[in-house]
Amino acid sequence: MSWLRVPRTFLAPGLVMILVAIGGRFTLDRAGFPDLAWVDLRVVGLIGAFVLLTIDIARRPAVPHSPRHEGWLIAMVLFFLFQIASGLWAPSAARVGPQTLDLVLMIALVVAFYLYAIGDPQTVVRQTFWLFYVAAIVFALAALFINGPGEQGRYSAFGGGPNVFVRIQILGIISALAVFLLTRKWWVLLAVPLFILAAVLSGSRAGLLAGMFVGGVALLKLRRKLRPGPVVAAVVALSVAGVVVWNFAPPAFTSLFQERFVEQTVEQHYLSDRTDIWAAAWKLAVDHPLAGAGLDGFYGLIGVNQGVEYPHNYVLGVAAEGGAIGIGLLTTAILLWTFTIRRRDVLPQHKMMTGLAVAAAVFVGLSSLFSGDYYDSRLAWLFAALAAAAAVAKAPAHEPEISREPVPQ
């Protein structure tokens, strides 16, 4: 008798969806084909992901049906649909078309990833963190050896901004810790100094602050489970790595650190005009309290004249462009999601996976309070879907085995 192990989920759908999520907005003109600028690779990628996901769901082994708590997902979809509908009363200068496409793709990405993860959260969580771990290494090496520093001396990779780059690097740190906790492969932690260096070189103060906050909360929750030996070893290793980097780093690194973090932040209290932008967004919210100024209304009424793309704060952006209705729907989705991941009936083997995905989602969510537009929050929603899938799944996490009798000769 032979035994064949059948995976509950295939890697292919998740790989394509994560590539779409990490890749951001990418049209073929950026790849050197200006005549094909209308081809949005996100759309192509998601169509392919849906085909693969359909095949994956169809061939999954049957599992006992049990009711799942998915109110947060419904509330999230309603929130996005309201944002799309708000384009009906947006100002004429608003970029309603591109923003609508972003939101439609967000809905498709999050719902598809949730359906993918619910099939086998244990496998999908592990694969997701592995993929983000590899992506962070690729982005860090590309920034250091290919793209180099930008005009402000800040590092990024593959055409993305420093604020997006730092999110990939901090997610790389979270992913390294997640892979270590889930697989006990200690060598994955060797890349953490690289991620820290790349994150600092991004010059993104908000991203680093959000990462330190999430890390501090995680250490506080795990304080009773930490052993002195590994903690001391980790502190010594990071300290040695920091000293080595500081002494052997190129002048661009030390000058960036001195100017960006010491002079601008500590001495000059410079916040990249964030306070003025936030004040303008708040005034817009006050002027349009019920339904907001409409999709991309901040740009259509303020940014188009001041050269500011968006409010650089996700919540303020929703308040300014969606009013009390938008904030209410967003709050409902977040509260229902919080109740979902904190339910008492979460399987014990899923609790750690849920917590790791929550840490990643919260980090990106906090970063979205300082930079990025609606579509830049996609990784927060993706990890939120991953956490919810791990929390509500009731099927056994192990891969089922199928017995096949040898064919009689």
What's the pLDDT at 230?
A: 61
- Express as a percent the part of the chain with pLDDT over 90: 48
What's the pLDDT at 346?
A: 74
Predicted confidence (pLDDT) per residue in 24-56, tens digit: 887 776 666 677 677 788 999 999 999 999 998
The residue ranking higher by pLDDT, 180 or 394, is 180
User: Residue 71: phi, psi to the nearest 5?
Assistant: -60, -35
Q: What number is the average pLDDT over the span 205-226?
A: 79
Torsion angle of alpha carbons 20, 22, 27, 30, nearest 10°?
A: -150
Decide if 292 contacts 326 (C-beta within 8 A): yes
With 0-12 / 13-18 / 19 or more C-beta atoms within 10 angstroms meaning exposed / middle / buried, residue 403 is exposed
Examine the pLDDT at 345 and tell me if it is beyond 60: yes
Decide if 159 contacts 31 (C-beta within 8 A): no
Banded model confidence at residue 271, pLDDT cuts 50, 70, 90: low
Q: How far apart are CA 314 and CA 50, in angstroms?
A: 28
In terms of residues, how long is the chain?
Answer: 409
Predicted confidence (pLDDT) per residue in 253-266, tens digit: 656 555 655 455 54
Examine the pLDDT at 241 and tell me if it is beyond 70: no
Q: What number is the average pLDDT over the span 379-387?
A: 96
Please give the mean pLDDT across all residues of the chain. 83
Q: How far apart are CA 175 and CA 170, in angstroms?
A: 8
What's the pLDDT at 402?
A: 37
